[in-house]
Copies of this chain bind each other. A is one copy, B any other.
Amino acid sequence: MKKYLFGIDIGGTSVKIGLFNLKGNLLKKWDIITNKEDLGKHILDDVYKSIKYQIPNLEEVDGYGFGVPGPVVNSKIIKCVNLGWEDYDLISIFSKLVNNENILVENDANVAALGETLHGAAFGYSNSAMLTLGTGVGGGIIVNSKIIDGAHGAAGELGHLHVVKENGRLCNCGNYGCLETVASATGIKNTFIELQKNSNIDSTLKDKEHLSAKMVIEAAKKGDVLSLEVVEDFTYYIGYACSILSIITNPDIIIIGGGVSKAGIYLLNKINHYFRKMMFEPVKETKIVLAKLGNDAGIYGAASLVKNDR
């Protein structure tokens, strides 16, 4: 008898595995190390062994959902640079291992957005968007409770919204002025360093070693003028991104997640302030909220792929 679902979130460092009941409740979760040797060919085998160890009778598993760090189009993985996968047929490889055809795969940021929508911060809404502010900036778009992949798997790649028009910094993607260059943890730190160089304003963080986005936001909360300027800068850009989202897919709710979002309601108020200055009036009911599931969003969303496919 079918009793379980698995939600599996494959990252460049670790694979998070979530065991769920058929209602989508998380029963157990654990991590394994991502073995990237030999172009990532051992990863799925490691996942299989780890699952088999927990649930010896795989007949009890209804299906498996995966989040992977790269673009996915129509269940096909285009490329996962961090894993060494290219045109990788995860579904057929894993379905042979577990002897189950019910395998689904989507991009990890999209899967996290789905998890937050169905089980987290946007519970109860079917149209949402998520912005993940971490080392980089990612995102996902949900319409009618389904992930939008896009033609090239690039739907929801919100980190590469071109937001800085003049003198934008170089982004990892090769463009200048992407949202990621200003609103990621790295971007926030870089803005502080740049402002410090070009201004006479003193700061409690002056010449601090190991400067981080978190330190800048904490200092701003305590009234550090230079840090506050940095916070106004990046929350403006996030508010701008929200204003764009609100008239393209026009979600009910926009979720702000990732490490930077731990700055909490302080951050949210500033984002809302800028959003409301720029928004198209008919979307004024759009909610902007903080993510709730943290690092579990991926496994929740991955497991939801299986349930959602019915």
Q: For window 237-255 of chain A, which residues contact chain B by CB distance below 8 Å?
A: 240, 243-252
A19 sits at the interface (CB 8 A): no
Which segment of A155-163, A204-212, A225-233 sits at the interface? A155-163
Q: A152-B285, A240-B162 are in contact. Are A173 and B280 (CB under 8 A)?
A: yes
Q: A148-B143, A280-B175 are in contact. Are A154 and B250 (CB under 8 A)?
A: yes
Query: Within 8 Å CB of A154, what residues of B?
Result: 246-247, 250, 280, 282-283
A151 touches B240 (CB 8 A): no
A245: shortest Cβ distance to chain B, in Å?
Answer: 7
Which residue from chain B places its CB closest to the CB of A154 in the assembled complex? B250
Q: For window 157-173 of chain A, which residues contact chain B by CB distance below 8 Å?
A: 157-158, 160-162, 165, 173
Query: Within 8 Å CB of A150, what residues of B?
Result: 127, 247, 249-251, 283
Rounded to whole angstroms, the CA-CA distance of A129 and B148 in the bound complex is 14
Which residue from chain B places its CB closest to the CB of A157 in the assembled complex? B247
A281 sits at the interface (CB 8 A): yes
Rounded to whole angstroms, the CA-CA distance of A149 and B141 in the bound complex is 14
A182: shortest Cβ distance to chain B, in Å?
Answer: 14
B243 touches A162 (CB 8 A): yes
Q: Which of B173, B250, B278 touches A149 (beta carbons < 8 Å)? A: B250
A24 sits at the interface (CB 8 A): no
Q: Which of B158, B160, B161, B252 touches A151 (beta carbons < 8 Å)? A: B252
A67 sits at the interface (CB 8 A): no
A174 sits at the interface (CB 8 A): yes
A63 sits at the interface (CB 8 A): no
A185: shortest Cβ distance to chain B, in Å?
Answer: 21
Q: A252-B151, A280-B173 are in contact. Are A247 and B160 (CB under 8 A)?
A: yes
Rounded to whole angstroms, the CA-CA distance of A244 and B242 in the bound complex is 12
A139: shortest Cβ distance to chain B, in Å?
Answer: 9
A298 sits at the interface (CB 8 A): no
Q: A127-B150, A285-B151 are in contact. Are A249 and B280 (CB under 8 A)?
A: no
Query: Within 8 Å CB of A71, what residues of B?
Result: 282
Interface centre among A155, A165, A251, A252 (most CB of B within 10 A): A155
Extra 8 A-B pairs, beta carbons < 8 Å, given A149-B250, A173-B280, A175-B281: A151-B251, A151-B286, A152-B250, A152-B286, A157-B282, A158-B247, A162-B240, A249-B249
A sample of 19 inter-chain contacts (CB < 8 A) reads A71-B282, A127-B151, A148-B250, A150-B247, A150-B249, A151-B250, A151-B285, A152-B283, A153-B250, A154-B250, A155-B249, A156-B250, A157-B280, A157-B282, A161-B244, A162-B244, A165-B165, A175-B281, A244-B244
User: A residues within 8 Å of B by Cβ?
Assistant: 71, 125, 127, 141, 143, 148-158, 160-162, 165, 173-175, 240, 243-252, 278, 280-283, 285-286
